[in-house]
Amino acid sequence: MKAITIFLWTCMLTHTLGTISERDEEIYMLLDKYGYIERETNVSQSDLNVDQLSLLKKGISRFQKSFNLPVTGKIDFRTVDLLGKPRCGNEDSFDFLKSSDQNRKWSSLNIKWGIYGDYYPNGFTAIAQKAFNIWSNHVNLHFRRVISDANILIAFKSGKHGIIRNDKASCLGRFDGMGGILAHADYPDIYKNAIEIHLDKDEDWDLTNTTLAGKTNLFLVLVHEIGHALGLDHSNEFNSIMFPSYGFVHIENFTLSQNDIHAIQKIYGNST
C-alpha cells in the first residue's frame, strides 16, 4: 500500500466552501486517472475548481457502485483499501461483454509478439508465451514470438516513459515505482497498427509459479494486459483476471474464469 494509506486517518474530512483538502486532492487524482471523474464539457477552470468537491463525491460514488460497495460518496476503509491497491493503469470501463466492436479486435488469427528495450528479466520469454497460451486455449488465435515486425510490442519501462515505436514520444501513462501502477496496455488499433504493453521495471516481480508475499507475479499481470491487447475492458468480477486490481491467486493450475472465457469468445468465437 502506497501513500494512499494516510487517507484512512481522515475518512471524515472538513472542507471549506469551494475547496478540497490536499489528501482529498490525491483521491481525486486517482479517481480521475481511473476514469471516475466526469466533468461537464465547456466548463471554465474557475467553475471546475469551485465544483471539485461535488465531482469528488460523485467520483467516489461511481467507484463504490462499480465494485458493489455501499454507495455513500464518502471515503471509508473498504473504498480506500480497494482504490489504493496495486493495479493496471488502464481506465476502468466495465463494458466487459460489449467488447465485440469490430474496431476492438485483430483481423488476423496469427498475432506476432516481441520483446523490446534493453532490459527484461531472465525467464521472461517463457512466462510471456505461457500468458499468451492462456488466451489461445479458448479462441482460435495463434501467438508467435518474433524479433521484429511484431503486432504486440512488450517492454519494461520506468516513471515517465516513451513509447516503444518512438522513444521521443511520451506514453500517456506513467509509472510510480513499486506498487501503484503495475502495467498498462493498448487496445487493438482501428488501423491495425502495432500496439504496446508496458510493464513497470521498478516492481519487485515474482517470476515463479507461486504468489510470494511482497512480490507481484509477472505472469498474472501479463495475462491481464494481454487481455487488453486482445480487446477486453476491465471486469468488476473479483474472480476475473481482468479485474483492475492485482489479486493474490493460486497460479499453479491457473485458468480463466467463465466470465473471461465468455468475453474473449464474444470477440473471436469459440476455439476449434
Which of 177, 7, 187 lies closest to 86, judged by CA?
A: 177
Q: What is the pLDDT of residue 58?
A: 94
Annotated active-site residue in 26, 91, 225, 252: 225
Dihedral sign, Cα of residue 148, residue 152, residue 155, residue 160: positive
Residues 154, 114: contact at Cβ < 8 Å? yes
Per the annotation, the verdict on 22 as an active-site residue is: no
Residue 100, C-beta contacts closer than 8 angstroms, at least 6 positions apart: 266, 267
Residue 220, C-beta contacts closer than 8 angstroms, at least 6 positions apart: 211, 241, 246, 247, 249, 251, 254
Upper half-sphere CA count for residue 151 (Cβ side, 13 Å): 22
Q: What is the pLDDT of residue 252?
A: 76
Q: Is 168 helix (H, G, I), strand (E, B) or coil?
A: coil
Q: What is the pLDDT of residue 95?
A: 58
Q: What is the pLDDT of residue 167?
A: 81
What distance lies between CA 61 and its chain's CA centroid? 20
| Strand 170-174, strand 160-162: pairing | antiparallel
Q: What is the pLDDT of residue 21?
A: 84
Q: What is the pLDDT along the chain (272 residues), one digit of tens a residue?
A: 444 443 333 333 334 334 678 888 999 999 999 999 987 654 444 454 557 889 999 999 999 999 999 999 998 999 999 999 999 999 998 754 444 455 689 999 999 999 999 899 999 999 999 999 999 999 999 999 999 999 999 999 999 999 999 988 999 999 999 989 999 999 998 888 999 999 999 999 999 887 767 789 999 999 999 999 999 999 999 999 999 999 867 777 899 999 999 999 999 998 87
List domains and CATH numbers for the chain: 3-84 (no CATH), 102-268 (3.40.390.10)
Upper half-sphere CA count for residue 123 (Cβ side, 13 Å): 8
